[in-house]
Amino acid sequence: MIVASYARTGATKYCINLAKWLNLPFMGELASTYLKKVGGGKAGIKAAIHETGFQPVLHPIDFIEGIQGDKKNIWLVNKSAYLIAPKADLIVLRRDIHAAMMSCCKVVSRVPNTPPQVVIFYAMLMYEEAYGLITYCDGPRNHLHAPIVWFEDLYPDHRQDVTELGEYRDFYHGQIEQWIETSDIEEKIARLWRIKRVD
């Protein structure tokens, strides 16, 4: 089972819960970063800074099976998810893109000694990933077969806390607002919220 998303949508936590509900193993993110010979340390970094503390190192065979559409396990794809979205069983989006990006800044800034320029660079990459998946979902109405699950429905009581961003909070906020205001991402999200919302 493939769950397509982008970072900071609550999809990792959702997949952990989905694994319990469906009695299927959650394999983590389907990304080459976490392959056994490549990203052992990187899997540890996600496990150290992510709220769930979850990301296993992937065996190459499992990785290949995940790409081929493995149905016996749950896989989260949140890097270039628009490329695998046609095969996805579920898509997780977040209506408040600004909050998702500020959350990205918050998580990246947890890595010790990370300069603010690096933090905002990762937020920009997350924005590009989000824009790609949202554009795919907002395309012709007959191409999207996977239901969309919304962060706001999964976590209705969530309140964004960015106090740990400290002195750089306004810098991040300004950069993010500039990206959002110069694109049509909010219009696309609004259409999806109205048309494809799954309760």
**Number of domains, the chain:** 1
Predicted confidence at residue 37, as pLDDT, reads 64
Predicted confidence at residue 111, as pLDDT, reads 82
Question: Residue 69 corresponds to which tokens in the numbers above?
Answer: 């559409």
Question: Residue 189 corresponds to which tokens in the numbers above?
Answer: 């999200």
Give me the domain span that covers residue 169.
Answer: 2-195
Q: What are the Cα distances from residue 99, in Å, to 168, 176, 187, 195?
A: 15, 10, 16, 22
Q: What are the Cα distances from residue 80, in Å, to 6, 11, 29, 188, 195?
A: 8, 15, 12, 18, 23
pLDDT tens digit at each of 199 positions of the chain: 999 999 989 999 999 999 999 999 998 888 777 776 654 445 565 555 556 556 667 788 888 888 888 889 999 999 899 999 999 999 999 999 999 999 999 888 888 888 999 999 999 999 999 999 999 999 876 677 899 999 999 999 988 787 778 888 899 999 999 999 999 999 999 999 988 555 4
Element (H, E) at 199: none
Predicted confidence at residue 199, as pLDDT, reads 45
Domain CATH for 175: 3.40.50
Can you tell me which residue has the tokens 């109405």?
141
Cα atoms in the 13 Å half-sphere on the side-chain side of 124: 10
Predicted confidence at residue 52, as pLDDT, reads 59
State the Cα angle at 134 between 133 and 135, rounded to 5°.
Answer: 90
